[in-house]
């Protein structure tokens, strides 16, 4: 069984198309939409191909018309692209986002996997870096051997006392310093992190055609081209 694990697609169709295609199952850890130009296409692609999908804060924002609670540097980007996303998704696609579960548990090859977007105790909004001590205080069901999370856009794996913690990073808006689509592969009981280059400038060109303010466009383009958060305005 070969499982492709991804998170934070953010409506970036070029990045998603660069991912490996040789998998048996696809697991998606949330945030299909916002920040990118192809939210409808991404929702339909995930609906068609994914075996398991959990809800991210941006999916929740679009589905329920609520604040995604982004960090201050990303609030304007989130708000402007949220307006665009809601304008292009139909009612059925928004209902799909509303219906996504907050977490999921599945057993594969004798290992129990727990999946959520952010953290088990705060599955939509709990922002935690790899070294956070709060991971050790999370209460998870007995027998969980692997915990899969996203939200930070930074790939990592960490061995906790009783389980392995894995974040595949972001497919559509990486923030680890490289402009590439990030993912994880689970096969034969082993999880490896991977990366795929894609046509960043094509994604940027699509954003340029949207009705975004100049500042928001430049910030989004900076993140895509550099794989990191832009500096705060002077």
Average pLDDT over residues 129-152: 95
Instruction: Determine the average pLDDT of the residues in 199-224.
Output: 97
- Residue 72 resides in a domain: yes
> What rounded mean pLDDT belongs to the chain?
96
- Residue 231 maps to a domain: no
Using a pLDDT cut of 90, give the percent of the chain over it.
Answer: 94
Are 104 and 54 contacting, i.e. CB atoms less than 8 angstroms apart? yes
Looking only at the bridges linking them, the beta strands covering 25-28 and 52-53 are parallel
- pLDDT tens per residue, range 33-87: 999 999 999 999 999 999 999 999 999 999 999 999 999 999 999 999 999 999 9
- Does residue 232 belong to any structural domain of this protein? no
- Asked whether residue 234 carries a pLDDT value surpassing 60, the answer given is no
Residues 159-202: tens digit of each pLDDT: 998 899 999 999 999 999 999 999 999 998 899 999 999 999 99
Please report, for the domain that includes residue 89, its CATH number.
Answer: 3.60.21.10
pLDDT for the residue 233: 65
Band of pLDDT at residue 109, cut at 50, 70 and 90: confident
Please tell me the predicted confidence (pLDDT) of residue 232.
Answer: 73
Q: How many domains does the chain have?
A: 1
Examine residue 234 and state whether it is found in any structural domain, yes or no: no
Q: Which residues of 36-75 are buried (b: 16+ CB within 10 A; e: fewer)?
A: bbbbeebbebbeeeeebbbbbbbbbbbbeeeebebeeebe
Residue 214: domain span: 2-226
The mean pLDDT value for 203-216 works out to: 97
Question: According to the model, what pLDDT value does residue 145 have?
Answer: 96
């Amino acid at each position: 069984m070969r499982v492709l694990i991804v998170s934070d697609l953010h409506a970036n169709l070029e990045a998603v198309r660069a991912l490996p295609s040789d998998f048996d199952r696809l697991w998606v850890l949330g945030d299909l939409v916002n920040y990118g130009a192809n939210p409808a296409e991404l929702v339909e692609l995930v609906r068609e191909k994914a075996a398991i999908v959990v809800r991210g804060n941006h999916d929740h924002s679009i589905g329920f018309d609520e604040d995604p609670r982004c960090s201050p540097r990303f609030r304007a980007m989130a708000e402007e692209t949220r307006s665009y996303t809601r304008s292009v998704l139909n009612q059925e696609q928004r209902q799909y986002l509303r219906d996504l579960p907050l977490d999921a548990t599945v057993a594969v090859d004798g290992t129990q996997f727990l999946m959520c977007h952010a953290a088990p105790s705060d599955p939509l909004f709990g922002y935690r870096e790899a070294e956070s001590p709060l991971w050790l205080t999370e209460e998870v069901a007995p027998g969980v051997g692997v915990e899969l999370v996203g939200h930070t856009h930074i790939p990592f794996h960490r061995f906790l006392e009783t389980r392995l913690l894995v974040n595949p990073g972001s497919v559509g808006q990486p923030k680890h310093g490289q402009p590439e689509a990030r993912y994880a592969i689970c096969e034969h009981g082993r999880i490896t992190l991977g990366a795929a280059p894609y046509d960043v400038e094509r994604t940027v060109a699509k954003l340029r055609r949207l009705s975004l303010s100049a500042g928001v466009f430049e910030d989004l383009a900076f993140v895509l081209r550099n794989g990191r958060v832009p500096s705060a305005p002077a």
